[in-house]
Copies of this chain bind each other. A is one copy, B any other.
Amino acid sequence: MQAVNRLLAEKGFDAMTVDEVAARVGIAKASLYKHFPSKEDLAAAAMVRVMRRAQEFFGALSGAAPPLENLRSAVRWTMALKLAGDMPALPSQNSSLRATLMSNREYMDGLMEVSDRLGAWIEAAQADGSLSRKYPPIAVLYTLYARACDPVLEFLQMGGQHSPEEIIELVLATCFEGLNAR
């Protein structure tokens, strides 16, 4: 699972080969196929694992903290995962992985739970005036999700001028405070 996770993060589903996974784990490819019926199921298992970790982390966030702070923490966690090379790339529109994931009960349930939790924080943050009320909550949700695959993170990482923590705070600021002067 860990190897699959890394490979999905490095190259994405299409470019990842089952041979690579087997080689990295150190077993024969056929052995892998005894555990997972297809490449899609193999990848889906890794995606489910990440989703579970997200559920655990988001679930442990304080109910007492301001909703905006919880949102920021959630996004920070997500970006840290990506910078560490542990965030599997989202399946693109036409990938065969997409269909498998959408029919995966555990994955979809996790996605729903995470979305509901973030959605509640978003509405609470708009209600308490910390988050702008001019955006539809769903647009805010998408914008936060998109930080999980933001190429700005890897571009800045490649530049080598900033630590992971600096990169996270930088992107977090552009996301919540915007590029304009305040």
Contacts and interface: CB of A to CB of B under 8 A. Distances in A.
Nearest to A10: B94
A152 B146 contact: yes
B93 A131 contact: no
Interface in A134-182: 134-136, 138-140, 142-143, 145-146, 149-152, 154-156, 159, 161, 170-171, 173-182
Counting chain A residues whose Cβ lies within 8 A of the other chain, the interface size class is 35 or more
A12 interface: yes
Nearest to A68: B180
A95 B131 CA distance: 38
Contacts of A114: none
A63 interface: no
Given A94-B15, A173-B134, A155 B181 contact: no
Of the listed residues A94, A133, A146, A176, the one surrounded by the most CB atoms of chain B closer than 10 A to its CB is A146
Given A132-B177, A132-B180, A179-B132, A143 B154 contact: no
Contact of A14 (B14, B173, B177, B178): B14
A22 interface: no
A92 B154 CA distance: 11
Interface of A: 10-12, 14-15, 68, 89-90, 92-95, 129-136, 138-140, 142-143, 145-146, 149-152, 154-156, 159, 161, 170-171, 173-182
Given A130-B180, A175-B179, 16 more contacts: A11-B92, A11-B94, A15-B95, A90-B151, A130-B181, A131-B179, A131-B180, A132-B180, A133-B181, A135-B179, A138-B156, A139-B170, A139-B171, A140-B174, A174-B175, A178-B180
